[in-house]
Amino acid sequence: MPASQVNRKPDFTSVIKHAITQHVKDNQFIGLGSGRAMTCLVRELGKKTFKKNLKFVVTSLQIGIEAEKAGLFVLDAPQTEQIDIVFDGADQIDANLFMIKGGGGALLREKILMYSARKVIILADSSKFVDQFTRSVPIEVSPFARTTVYRNLIGIGAQIELRQSATGYPYFTDNGNIIFDASFTFILNPEALEKELTCIPGIVEVGIFTRRADRYYKASSEGLFSIIAFRKDGPYVISP
C-alpha cells in the first residue's frame, strides 16, 4: 500500500453536507455526540443561516465548546422536549449494526440521547465497520463501586484496564465517574452481554449500543460515502 494511503483520515465533508441537507429541518431540537465527525458537523452547522432556529444538547464539554464557537444555541439537558434527531459517531459497528461507543468517555450521555430521539444518524469512517467487535468495551463505573465492579468483571472473563488521563491519573467522565475498558475474548452476543453488564451494581452504563440507528453514513478517505440502514433481513445500502 502506498505511504500516502496509510492512516489517511476520512473526509467527512460530503457526508456532513448530505446529512444536514437530508435530515436537519427548521425548528428542530438536535442532540450532538462526540468525536471528530461531530466537530466537523458543528462547524458546518455554524455556517447555516437557519441555525438561529435550532436548539442543541451536547454530550461532551469538547463539543459544547465547539458549538458555542459556532454560535449554536445549546441547552444543558433535554428538558421537557423530545429530541428530534441525534447525530453521533461510533468506535466500532458490527455486521448487525450494533455499536461500541465511549472511546471519548461520553457513553452515558450518548446513550441517553439516543434513546430520547425520534431519529438517530451515525457518521463513521469505513474502518469502524467490522464483522465482529475486536476492541474493548468502555464501562462507566461509580468510583464507590470500583473494587466490586472490577471483581465482577474479572469473574465473567474480562480483562480490565482503568482508563487514565494524559497526566496519568484516573480519567473522570463529565458525570464524575471512572471508566473501565473491558476486553473480552469474543463478543458473540452483544445484546446478552449488554444486559449482563448493566445488571452489575455500580456499573452506570455500558458502551455496547444495541439500539440501531436509523441511518449509518460510511465515509472513505476519498470523500465518498455510502448510507446503510437495517431491516428484518439485515443491513442494506441506500444510494446517496
User: What are the catalytic residues?
Assistant: 110
Alpha-carbon gap, residue 149 to 230, rounded angstroms = 34
Computed on alpha carbons and rounded to an integer, the radius of gyration of the chain in Å comes to: 18
Whole-angstrom CA distances from 16 to 29, 117, 177, 208 are 18, 19, 32, 25
Could you tell me where the DSSP H helices lie in 102-189? 107-114, 146-155
Residue 175 is given by DSSP the state T
All three cell numbers of 41, joined, read: 458537523
H/E element, 236: strand 234-238
3 state SS of 47: coil
Residue 171 is given by DSSP the state P
